[in-house]
């Protein structure tokens, strides 16, 4: 089997990154702003100073952590046909962007804060689109209580799509509530542990700091067997060294440290290695998705995850991130780099529908990104190299100077072997040309989104389950 992918680290480079990671974790250590987490780390064998709230990891402990970390996991969905087992050889499972704070009005373009109703519409649209494998709550529900934003967004998402939902939690309390909500849908906490229909992204505060609410949520999720995506968000020269080598080592150290917290809480807790690290715009300090450095860091991160044998979520795809309104806003170089992130050897990726460096989102952008991703992901498809596909007998039969066009084998296999969009799909793909009018492209995307929202009804949860979810929300909102 052959697969197109980018690798920037040699075998010796991988060993060197691991060696420097050990040095960081053993000599510099991490800041853990939770006495509960520090106690778990100390019991597990870490060196802990509870006064300064620091923890250091000896090499032996890092080795044990990697051994305990599951190598095969399954992100499940309400619809089992949409489960996502890994490791995955072909194209990454793709998700939306997450928790944008505004959306542009479809008619006027005016920006407005998003609501729970907006999130429900986004989830319904995502539920209907085949190129999307799973979802983040793509926009923030600003009308939810401040202390239960993530809980409300998870509940809305799970009720408006049958796909896997990837959320977050800001506290131990919120993590417990999210487990309760998902357990109500699948029939109890033991069933949820077997089939986790949601996972969570928990980000260290780069560099090397684990905030109290987030780290205690990680521990709660570990106990419930909810997969935790330890997303490092290093920025070269700002929250990480300006050198790519230093940033890669820091990203690796943050992931390994997060794994250690999960495994010391519950051995075998499912985790995912993750990086959304890139370079900032050094003139403004703003994050810069689509940069050259993002591709290189993502590739290295994916290789380190494969080295440890753990699932990974790095890189992503979106062509709207450089603009504040729907459309294709990346310059040609950035478009190439964004496309290249899909060639890293990652299992999961995200970004669909995002605008304005992930601060905004648009229904039209989801349509546009999905159309383009459907084409780009073909570069990561498996290329089988089995005996039957070499067809040496056919090559002999056609011979030098011949043609394979008339061969029955070509007609019989071309739809399986080649990317051949037909009919309306071919017209849609052909419309994405640089010389075409973007206004027309956006209007077509808006019309398709409106049609889906009018006609598509996601499989609902039972009324009794909805009542349980509402009760959980009411209890935790107080």
Q: Tokens 């940033």 map to which residue? A: 247
Assess contact for 136 and 166: CB atoms under 8 A.
Answer: yes
Under DSSP, the state recorded for 114 is: -
Predicted pLDDT at 337? 64
In which residue ranges of the chain is CATH 3.20.20.480 found?
Answer: 67-380
pLDDT of residue 3: 66
Q: Does domain 67-380 have CATH number 2.40.50.140?
A: no
Predicted local distance difference test score (pLDDT) of residue 334:
67
- For residue 87, cis peptide bond before it (omega within 30 degrees of 0): yes
Task: From first to last of the 478 residues of the chain, give the pLDDT tens digit.
Answer: 566 678 889 999 999 999 999 999 999 999 999 999 999 999 999 999 999 999 999 999 999 999 999 999 999 999 999 999 999 878 899 999 999 999 998 778 899 999 999 999 999 999 999 999 999 999 999 999 888 889 999 999 999 999 999 999 999 999 999 999 999 999 999 999 999 999 999 999 999 999 999 999 999 999 999 999 999 999 999 999 999 999 999 999 999 999 999 999 999 999 999 999 988 878 877 777 767 788 889 999 999 999 999 999 998 888 888 889 999 987 776 677 677 777 788 999 999 999 998 899 999 999 999 999 998 888 877 788 889 899 999 999 999 999 999 999 999 999 888 888 888 888 888 888 877 888 999 999 999 999 999 999 999 999 999 999 999 999 988 7
Tokens 């560099």 found at = 207
Q: Is the dihedral of CA 231, 294, 98, 182 positive or negative?
A: negative
What's the chain's average pLDDT? 93
CA distances from 245 to 164, 195, 262, 274, 340 (A): 34, 38, 26, 17, 20
Angle in degrees, CA 81, 87, 93, rounded to 5: 55
């Amino acid at each position: 089997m052959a697969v197109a992918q980018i690798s920037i680290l040699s075998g010796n480079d991988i060993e060197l990154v691991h060696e420097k990671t050990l040095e960081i974790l053993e000599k510099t250590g991490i800041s853990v702003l939770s006495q509960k987490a520090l106690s778990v780390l100390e019991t597990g064998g870490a060196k802990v100073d509870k006064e300064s709230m620091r923890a250091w990891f000896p090499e032996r402990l890092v080795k044990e952590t990697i051994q305990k970390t599951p190598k095969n996991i399954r992100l499940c969905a309400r619809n089992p046909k949409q489960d996502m087992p890994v490791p995955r050889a072909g194209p990454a499972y793709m998700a939306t962007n997450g928790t944008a704070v505004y959306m542009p009005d479809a008619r006027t373009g005016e920006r407005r804060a998003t609501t729970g109703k907006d999130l429900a519409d986004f989830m319904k649209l995502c539920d209907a689109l085949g190129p999307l494998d799973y979802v983040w709550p793509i926009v923030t529900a600003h009308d939810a209580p401040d202390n239960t934003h993530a809980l409300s967004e998870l509940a809305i998402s799970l009720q408006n799509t049958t796909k896997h939902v990837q959320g977050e939690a800001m506290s131990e309390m919120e993590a417990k509530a999210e487990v309760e909500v998902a357990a109500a849908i699948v029939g109890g906490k033991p069933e949820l542990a077997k089939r986790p229909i949601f996972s969570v992204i928990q980000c260290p505060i780069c560099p090397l700091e684990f905030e109290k609410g987030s780290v205690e949520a990680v521990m709660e999720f570990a106990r419930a067997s909810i997969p935790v995506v330890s997303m490092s968000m290093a920025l070269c020269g700002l929250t990480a060294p300006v050198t790519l080598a230093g940033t890669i080592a820091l990203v690796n150290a943050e992931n390994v440290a997060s794994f250690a917290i999960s495994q010391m809480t519950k051995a075998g807790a499912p985790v995912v290695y993750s990086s959304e690290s890139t370079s900032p715009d050094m003139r403004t300090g703003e994050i810069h998705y689509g940069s050259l450095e993002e591709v290189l860091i993502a590739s290295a991160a994916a290789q380190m995850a494969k080295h440890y044998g753990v699932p990974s979520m790095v890189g992503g795809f979106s062509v709207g991130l450089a603009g504040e309104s729907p459309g294709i806003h990346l310059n040609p170089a950035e478009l190439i780099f964004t496309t290249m992130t899909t060639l890293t050897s990652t299992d999961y990726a995200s970004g669909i529908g995002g605008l304005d460096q992930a601060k905004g989102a648009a229904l039209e952008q989801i349509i546009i990104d999905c159309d383009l991703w459907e084409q780009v992901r073909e570069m990561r498809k498996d290329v089988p190299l089995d005996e039957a596909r070499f067809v040496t007998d056919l090559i002999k039969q056609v011979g030098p100077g011949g043609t394979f066009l008339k061969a029955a084998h070509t007609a019989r296999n071309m739809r399986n072997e080649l990317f051949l969009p037909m009919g309306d799909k071919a017209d849609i793909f052909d419309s994405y040309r640089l010389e075409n009018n973007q206004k027309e492209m956006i209007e077509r995307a808006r019309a398709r989104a409106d049609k889906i929202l009018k006609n598509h009804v996601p499989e609902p949860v039972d009324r009794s389950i909805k009542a349980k979810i509402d009760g959980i929300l009411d209890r935790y909102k107080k």
